[in-house]
Structure 1
Amino acid sequence: MRVLRGRAATIETDRDVSRRLLSTAAAGEPAVRVWTPHRQVAFGRRDQRLEGYELAREHARERGFPPVDRDVGGRAVAYDGETTLAFARAEPVADFRRGTDDRYGRATAAVEEALRGLQSDIGSLEPVRGEPDDSFCPGTHSLSLEGADGRRRKVVGIAQRVRQDAAVVAGCVLVSNREGLTAVLEDVYDALAVPFDPETVGSVAAAGGPSEPSIVRSALEDALVGDERSAVTVDSAAELGDN
């Protein structure tokens, strides 16, 4: 199991590091990365086909979030560069037509385990599968947490990319700064004319958990590595990004 830590110097070199996860997995070695991406709004392919796409990019820039395009589908996701985590687990694939649901299931269970293990001011965090209507980047593999007000909000989004020799399950976790992320998402989704309810945006901190990303990052990495932690090789994403 290869583990990548940290981030590369720029958005593009950091994305290159993440792309290498699939190559590492295709060579027979599973890989895990949990990190804090640079500040950005990442647009999906569906966003790029909409009339309001260029306006949405401009709104992101005005908020100080550089716009970038993702290779996969889905809707826009915002990273604040400090408190929003991304995670990815890549593994070899013998038959790309099989195993999709199993990979989703194992990754989702690992993220649930990590969240439940965090200390909470209002009791143990209990993630719920699914998301409220009109959430950011809506999908069928999301996790929500209940806030102090009793309202369930989306905190985790999960997606998967599969090629013939490897697959990666990846996602984001909102640790804190719910208000700042909501503000830029509201502008972006309004420009795209995509339904979005700002009240559906949650965070680990808003649910009573820790607001320190490093605590959540460590818990996620441990859960995603799982039983293979005895054979971990750690690489620096910053060094790989310089290659």
Structure 2
Amino acid sequence: MRLVRGRAATPAEDRAATATMLTRAGETGEEAFRAWTPHRQVAFGRRDTHADDYDLARRTARERGYAVVERSVGGRAVAYTGSTVAFAHAIPLDDPRRGLTERYEAGVDGVLVALSDLGVDADRGEPADSFCPGDHSVRLVGANGGGKVSGIAQRVQSDAALVAGCVLVNGREDLVDLLTPVYEALAVPFDPASVGTVEDAGGPGDPERACRALERAFIGTEDDPLVRMESVDALVSLAARDSDVA
């Protein structure tokens, strides 16, 4: 297992690094995991790009200081405020036709374990009219219950799969202030009350602590002799080299 840490210099390099994780998992048969805080950005899904007012949604994000990116997997728009945590787990496959549901379930389980580690009570599911609605989400329960705190997507290729998602750590008001007009422009129902964060539930509002909790949940410990540390810059360099070769 490779444990990747760090954030690349630009959103494009970050995406290239994660794509290289996936490619290499298929080539080498070795898993890789990373948890990090992406640059301030709004990642729009493929369906968003077909909305009548998609240009307005993009402009709304940029006017609020967010970069705009488009992703090939996942559902609707997701905002990364600079303290939102993303994670990606690259898994080699023998048969891409098998294991989809099991990988989703394992991804949700990993998030739940990490949130429990942070003192947050959560469960599977999501409230109505939440951001990036999907079947594989995690919501807060208990006294601070209801808000969606995590969503998970999956990309599958012939020899590897990438289970990826986000965890909202803090800054609920910033997320709501951005997502409300963006989803309005996309003509997608959105309830501001559907947003939850680790901090809302009494957990730590520190993204680095959330990253470490996700690492422990998905791979155990960095001290495991089977875990090899790697910087994101090394992946960026590999991605650039592969691009030059291609």
Query: What TM-score, normalized to structure 2?
Result: 0.92
Task: State the partner residue of 2:149.
Answer: 155
**Distance of aligned partners of 1:227 and 1:39 in 2 relative to their CA distance in 1, 3 Å threshold:** closer
Q: Is the 8 A contact 2:139 2:145 kept in 1?
A: no
Task: State the partner residue of 2:128.
Answer: 133
Q: Indicate yes or no: 2:159 matched with 1:165.
A: yes
Once the two structures are TM-superposed, the CA of residue 226 in structure 1 deviates from its matched residue by: 3.5
In the TM superposition, 1:83-102 aligns within 5 A as: 83-102=83-102
Instruction: For 1:73 and 1:48, locate their aligned partners in 2 and report how far apart those are by CA, in whole Å.
Output: 13
Once the two structures are TM-superposed, the CA of residue 230 in structure 1 deviates from its matched residue by: 3.3
Q: Is the 8 A contact 2:85 2:211 kept in 1?
A: yes
Q: Indicate yes or no: 2:135 matched with 1:106.
A: no
Once the two structures are TM-superposed, the CA of residue 106 in structure 1 deviates from its matched residue by: 1.3
**Distance of aligned partners of 1:241 and 1:147 in 2 relative to their CA distance in 1, 3 Å threshold:** farther
In the TM superposition, 1:196-211 aligns within 5 A as: 196-211=190-205
Q: Is the 8 A contact 1:139 1:157 kept in 2?
A: yes
Once the two structures are TM-superposed, the CA of residue 67 in structure 1 deviates from its matched residue by: 0.9
Provide structure 2 residue ranges, at least 5 long, that are not aligned to the other structure: 241-246
Task: State the partner residue of 1:64.
Answer: 65
Q: Is the 8 A contact 2:129 2:194 kept in 1?
A: yes
Identity %: 55
Instruction: For 1:132 and 1:230, locate their aligned partners in 2 and report how far apart those are by CA, in whole Å.
Output: 41
Task: State the partner residue of 1:122.
Answer: none
Provide structure 1 residue ranges, at least 5 long, that are not aligned to the other structure: 120-124
Task: State the partner residue of 2:243.
Answer: none
Once the two structures are TM-superposed, the CA of residue 71 in structure 1 deviates from its matched residue by: 1.2
Count of aligned pairs between the two proteins: 236
Q: Is the 8 A contact 1:8 1:239 kept in 2?
A: no
- What SS is found at the alignment partner of 2:200? helix
Q: Is the 8 A contact 1:147 1:206 kept in 2?
A: no
Task: State the partner residue of 1:190.
Answer: 184
Instruction: For 1:72 and 1:232, locate their aligned partners in 2 and report how far apart those are by CA, in whole Å.
Output: 27
- What SS is found at the alignment partner of 2:154? strand
Task: State the partner residue of 2:77.
Answer: 76
In the TM superposition, 1:215-234 aligns within 5 A as: 215-226=209-220, 229-234=224-229
